[in-house]
Amino acid sequence: MKFLKGIIVVGFLFILGLNILAHDHVHGPDYIHNKEVWGNSLNNALNKAQKNDFLLIEFSKPYCNGYKQFASSVLEQNDVENFIKQNFIAVELHPLKYKNLIKAYNVVTVPTFIVADNMGRELDRLSGYPKKEVFKNKLDFIKTNKDNFFNLKKRALNGDATLIDYFNLAEKYFNMKKYKKAEKYYNLSTGSNKEYEKNIALGNINFINKNFNNADKFYDFARRNFNNSKTVDFFAGYTAYMEREHAKSIEYFENFLNNSENTNSLKNKKINSIYLCTLASVFLKDFDKAEAYSEKFKKSFPDQKQTAGQLTFFVFTEKNKVLKKENDEHDEHDNDEHYHEGCGGV
C-alpha cells in the first residue's frame, strides 16, 4: 500500500507540474529552524506522511530582516515548535532553489505557509508575518475547517457550493493572484450578502488588468448602492498604488479624503491615504505635491510624529537625489559642448 501511495503521490506532483525527484539533488539553504521540527525535502516529507498526516510547507527567504524577526519571535518559540511537531510534518524550502514548486503551488509572496494533505494537495495557506497565537490558530483552523480552500473547491466542483462558498473561494483565488478564477467565482456569488465586497473586488481585478473604465463602473456601483460607500475610493486607491498607477492612486485617495468624515473608524485609512499619496507623488517626481502631503500628514496626525519624520526625510532625500542627478547630467552636457566647440575650432 505504501508503494501504491508513492506512485499516486508522484503522479499528483507531476500533474501539478512538480518534478520533485529532480529537485532532491539540489541542496537547499542550511537549516534555519530546528532540525528536529523542520526538514528541507518535500519528497522525504511525502514518503513519511501517513493517511491522516498534514504537511506544513514553508516558502521563505530566510535572510530578509523582517523574516529573521518573525522566525525568532514566532517560529522558533518552544510552544510553536511543539505545536508544529505535534500537528504537521514540516518542510522549509527556499524559493530560489525550488522555482517549479513555487509555480506549482502558485506562491506569490514570501513567507507563505501551505497546509497540505499527505499527498501534497493544498488545503489552504497563510502568508505574511502573523503574531504567534494568530499563526497557531490559523494553521489549526485550516486543518479542521470545512471552508478551507480544498473543501471550497471540492464543493464548487460537485455543485454543492452556496453563494458564500463561491465568494470565499473567489477571495482565496484573488489572494493567490489567479484573477480569472477569482472573477468567475465572484460572479457566481451574486445575490450573497457580500455584494459590496464583490463589486470592489471586481473593480480591483479590472484595474489590475488595465480595464480602467470597467473598474470605475464596479467602484461606482459600490459607491451608489451601499452604506459603507465612502471606503470604496480607499480600496481603489490602494489597488492603484500597488499596481504603480500612482496618478490614479492619488485621484482615488483624494476622493476618499474629500468625501469622508473625520471619525475614529476611518482614521487609519486616512493615515494610509495621505502616507501613500506622499509616496506616489515622490514616484511621480512631483516633489512640491509630496512636500505638501508630508506637511499635511504631520499636521493631521500629531500622534504619528515618528512616521511623519520618516516621511519628511524620505521626500527630502529623494528630491535631493533627483536634483543631484539633474545637475550631474547638466554638467556632463556642458563638458560635451565645450569639447565639441574645441574640436570645431581646430
The pLDDT of residue 218: 96
Domain boundaries, the chain: 2-145, 161-345
Pairing of strands 122-127, 38-39: unpaired
Look at the block and give the residue holding cell 497565537. 133
Is residue 171 within 8 Å of 177, Cβ to Cβ? Answer: no
pLDDT at 328 over 80: no
Are the C-beta atoms of 198 and 189 separated by less than 8 Å?
A: yes
Q: How far is Cα 133 from Cα 136, in angstroms, rounded to an integer? A: 5
Give the pLDDT confidence of 78-88 residue by residue, as tens digits.
999 999 999 99
pLDDT (0 to 100) of residue 311: 96
Q: In this structure, are residues 168 and 152 in contact, taking their beta carbons and an 8 Å threshold? A: yes
In the chain, % helix, strand, coil (3-state, to 5) comes to: 65, 5, 25
Rounded to whole angstroms, how far apart are CA atoms 68 and 48? 29
Is the pTM value of this prediction over 0.95?
A: no
Poorest-pLDDT segment among 12-21, 106-115, 194-203: 12-21
CATH of domain 2-145: 3.40.30.10
CB atoms within 10 A of CB 311: 22
**In this predicted model, what pLDDT tens digit does every residue of 136-153 receive, in sequence order?**
999 999 988 889 999 999
Q: What angle do CA 323, 328, 333 make, to 5 degrees?
A: 125
Distance, CA of 175 to CA of 112 (rounded, Å): 12
Cα 200 to Cα 125: distance, rounded to the nearest angstrom: 23
Domain 161-345 carries which CATH code?
A: 1.25.40.10
Residue 120 has φ and ψ, to the nearest 5°, of 90, 5
